[in-house]
Amino acid sequence: MNHNPLFNRLTDIEGVEIIKNVSMAPHTSYRIGGPAGIWIVPRSEKAVGQVLQVLHRARVPLFVLGLGTNVLVSDKGWDGAVVHIGPNLDGWIFEGRQAVVRAGTALMNLIQATVAVGLAGMESMAGIPGSVGGGLRMNAGAFGQEIASTTVWVRGYYRDGTPFKADRDAIGFGYRTAAQLQDAVITSARFRFTVDDPETLAIRMDKALNRRRARQPFDVPSCGSVFKRPPNHYAGKLIEMAGLKGERIGGAMVSPKHAGFIVNTGSASAADVFNLIRKVESTIRHKFGVRLEREVKLIGDFGPGGG
């Protein structure tokens, strides 16, 4: 794809960094992935909308990347535009019991900040990787808390650059999903908390972190949980019962610590991970009649079964 005319139009937008052919591997928690055709880094919410308008008019394939968790990028990369919303669009402002937070903020950073000022509602989600925007899109949660419960509104743009603002009740939050946010580019959100003792909150946060570290492979690259929890089952338990703990294809391995994770042992390609995902899915369907639904998002061309 010839990106030169598009590149020139994007450079006219104030507050945007644009680079061609950027390797996506360093920007994903898997440390895997080929290049992005155009890498776009907007530094304001307004710039995000302007970028989206240009991309929409040019009919360029678009992928929005936060902190790179919960995604697997093809070895071939993404021959389109990647809009990166991470440290370039982070930070928050506390307003009493509420906070307005930019979408690129690391969720853990926000949790630590709320705990420090005695605001409760996210402390049990400590250790969940990724950004606030990503957490909203998948309604991240753990140990009885979900991001939906603190959300007041979410703001951003539709893919054509049209601005939107949605109150919590209109978003359609469900288990690991937020229906009205799937085709939106989130730029900020408002959250409402309750007041609690900072020391008490810190104890809860540390407890959640310790439980997560004890159960999950924090020491090797992964995307987090590969599969959603099936009705009446746990994906990790089914995979363990199928004898797949430690199963490997190339440099990809089903974690011996938690079977719901597929890790990069250091040399995995995206194809290795994808083929192992397919093997796990096929085995679980054959042994238990359960179809696992992927929580990880596949970006780029993976061939058959990659949809």
What the chain holds in terms of domains, given with CATH numbers, is: 4-88 (3.30.43.10), 90-215 (3.30.465.10), 235-299 (3.90.78.10)
Distance CA 203, CA 123 (A): 9
Q: Is the pTM of this model over 0.75?
A: yes
- Per-residue pLDDT of 241-293, as tens digits, reads 999 999 999 999 999 999 999 999 999 999 999 999 999 999 999 999 999 99
pLDDT greater than 80 at residue 3: no
- Per-residue pLDDT of 86-123, as tens digits, reads 999 999 999 999 999 999 999 999 999 999 999 999 99
Dump strand ranges (E) for 116-212: 119-120, 141-142, 145-146, 151-158, 163-167, 173-174, 177-178, 184-192, 194-195
Distance CA 33, CA 27 (A): 9
Active-site residue set: 176, 225, 295
pLDDT greater than 70 at residue 1: no
pLDDT at 175: 86
- Per-residue pLDDT of 291-306, as tens digits, reads 999 999 999 999 887 7
- At 177 the three-state DSSP class reads strand
DSSP 229-266: PPTTS-HHHHHHHTT-TT-EETTEEE-SS-TT-EEE-S
Distance CA 153, CA 111 (A): 18
- Spatial contact of 40 and 82, defined as CB atoms under 8 Å apart: yes
N- to C-terminal Cα separation, the chain: 22
- Spatial contact of 201 and 271, defined as CB atoms under 8 Å apart: no
DSSP 98-143: EEEEETTSBHHHHHHHHHHTTEESSGGGTT--SBHHHHHHTT-EET
DSSP 9-65: HHTTSTTEEEEEEEESGGGSTT----EEEEEEEE-SHHHHHHHHHHHHHHT--EEEE
- Per-residue pLDDT of 4-50, as tens digits, reads 778 888 988 999 999 999 999 999 999 999 999 999 999 999 999 99
Distance CA 300, CA 269 (A): 14
Structure tokens, 228: 């959603």
